[in-house]
Amino acid sequence: MLRNAYVKLSGEVFEQSDSIVPPDVDLNMAVAYAMIRRADTLGTFQIESRAQMAMLPRMKPRTFYDLVIEVAIVRPGPIQGDMVHTYLRRREGREKVVFPKPELERVLGKTLGVPLFQEQAMRVAIECAGSTPGEADQLRRAMATFKFTGGVSHFRDKLVEGMVANGYEREFAERTFCQLEGFGSYGFPESHAASFALIAYASSWLKCWHPDVFCAALLNAQPMGFYAPAQIVRDAQEHGVKVRPVCVNASRWDCTLEPREAEEFSDADDGRFAVRLGLRMVRGLGNADAARLVATRGDMRFASVDDLWRRARVPHAALTELAEAEAFRPTMGVSRRDALWAIKALRDEPLPLFAAAADREAATVSEQVEPVVWLRATPEGGEVVEDYGHVGLTLRQHPVSFLRAELGLRRHITCAEAMASRDRRWVEVAGLVLVRQRPGSAKGVMFITIADETGVANLVGWTKVFEANRRTVLGAGMMGVRGRIQREGEVVHLVAHSLTDLSREFASVGRRGRTDESAMDNSIAS
């Protein structure tokens, strides 16, 4: 049962649940907030978008109410009302906060004189402009109508003239109304922001202290959020989480947690579990077939592809999907190609005349030695491409690593080098496109995240660049970028000046890399 507790934070009282915030939160919250300030928030609630990640190192949240403001300020209303930069300047002490009258300080003091919440706008109307509660509620309704513009403007004369009549300078009243007018593109109620902030903090705390649990939970909740499973897994690995592949003898439908081997632990692991990818990750595999496999397996592992087929009676198509996901390799040592070859000898519906003979033959040791077929091993790059095609991620090398030598000849540096470069340096970088965002409030600016084997790079493309490179921006799976580094404190962007579609080069990854000759030792009966 949830027990309500009232916790006083930053002078405000918010209702929250003890079951969401752990009892020892005070001991661990500093580390969690430090992670949030670094914008290490991939997968967390509300603060995982590019815009939020860019704001977090500037806001530097240290308290719960800082998160409440963070959630509310990255919204179309505050952005279009020019509240964001004003608030940041005042928070950093670069602009003085002035309150012409005490009642205004009571209303806007906690947000440094910037109206960020619908409740504040209502109180400004009542206490500073002399509006009635009914008129203030009409203002709230206008602000709460998402994407409805112009509704707040009807209150201009009433608010401005009311503030002037109460002793405020007209210029100040006009500026205050302009900020409120931004709410016509939607601003948050404070109670709504507080509720969102609580979940944002809880998910951040979980990611900080239990990244293994967090990773498994996100994968089991897909599809959701801004990021694909490949990015979630990679982020978890960067946080020290061991991720294990899909396996017919170890995986259940959902991704699960497994004990780690002694040699896999380090001093920093703190007893974390390994994440075993579930059968849900195998593209095309039905829930019913997976359930039959898991139920049949029980405590007796499958010994071979043929053993699984005979015992679980899953159809040929399901076996093929498992083989393409390389789910037979982890415990059987059977490669993707060998498993597919073995499946070709199986039938979904054995002929009645031969069914009994097949069962007898399976129960006894055959005296005949079948011919051995040697299959050519797949290049490493081909295995990576197959992984992405059938599981949506790879636990092998990053695809861009196979192109690194060629990219080096083109003077493309890594994403990690680019993000560590000095301000205003010109660089060229290449990577897979992870996220494309073009918010309506960004006035045509495109935000793109690319990744290589070293990390991610955050790109900003102005409208002119976007229009000149529209096809590349919208269609390229991999792109090269030439641009200038823009560094503001811990926030780093690469402002793109030209873009190149590298999809053709990316398509060649499947033919690259070493061919593991030892894999040819894995043979299967014809």
Model confidence pLDDT, tens digit, residues 186-238: 667 888 899 999 999 999 999 999 999 999 999 999 888 788 899 999 999 99
Beta-carbon count within 10 A of 521 CB? 11
Burial class (CB in 10 A: 0-12, 13-18, 19+), 357: exposed
3-state DSSP call for residue 22?
A: coil
Question: What pLDDT is recorded for position 250?
Answer: 96
Q: What is the pTM of this model?
A: 0.82
- What is the structure's pLDDT at 489? 77
Q: Respond yes or no on whether the N-terminal peptide bond of residue 223 is cis (omega within 30° of 0).
A: yes
Angle at 146 between CA 142 and CA 147, to 5 degrees: 100
pLDDT for 356: 55
Looking at residue 526, what is its pLDDT? 28
Beta bridge partners of 498: 482
b or e along 2-13 (b: 16 or more beta carbons within 10 Å of the residue's beta carbon)?
eeeeeeebeeee
Chain segment 349-358, per-residue pLDDT in tens: 554 544 555 5
Q: What is the pLDDT at residue 523?
A: 32
d(CA 58, CA 56): 5
Mapped onto helix, strand or coil, the DSSP state of residue 90 is helix
Looking up tokens 């059968």 gives 279
Residues of the chain with pLDDT under 70: 1-28, 77, 80-81, 143-152, 182-187, 262-270, 347-376, 440-442, 515-526
The CA-CA-CA angle for residues 410, 412, 416, to 5°, reads 165
SS (H, E, C) 267-316: CCCCCCCEEECCHHHCCCCCHHHHHHHHHHHCCCCCCCHHHHHHHHCCCH
Tokens of 519: 């894999």
The DSSP-derived string for 146-197 is TT--STGGGGHHHHHHHHHHTT--HHHHHHHHHHHHGGGG--B-HHHHHHHH
Give the pLDDT confidence score for residue 2 in this predicted structure: 29
Q: Where in the chain is the domain with CATH 2.40.50.140?
A: 400-510
In whole angstroms, how far apart are CA 31 and each of 28, 57, 132, 290? 6, 15, 46, 40
Residue 13, pLDDT score? 35
CATH number for the domain running over 400-510: 2.40.50.140
* Torsional class of 60: left (φ above 0), alpha (ψ -120 to 50), beta (otherwise): left
Sheet holding 243-244, edge to edge: 243-244, 274-276, 256-258
C-beta separation of 55 from 74 below 8 A: yes
Distance CA 13, CA 3 (A): 16
Retrieve residue 53's tokens. Answer: 């990640």
Measured distance CA(80)–CA(83) in Å, rounded: 8
Only one residue has tokens 């982890």, namely 330
What the block records as the tokens of 367 is 């005296």
Grouping H, G, I as helix, E, B as strand and the rest as coil, residue 101 is coil
| Residues across the chain | 526
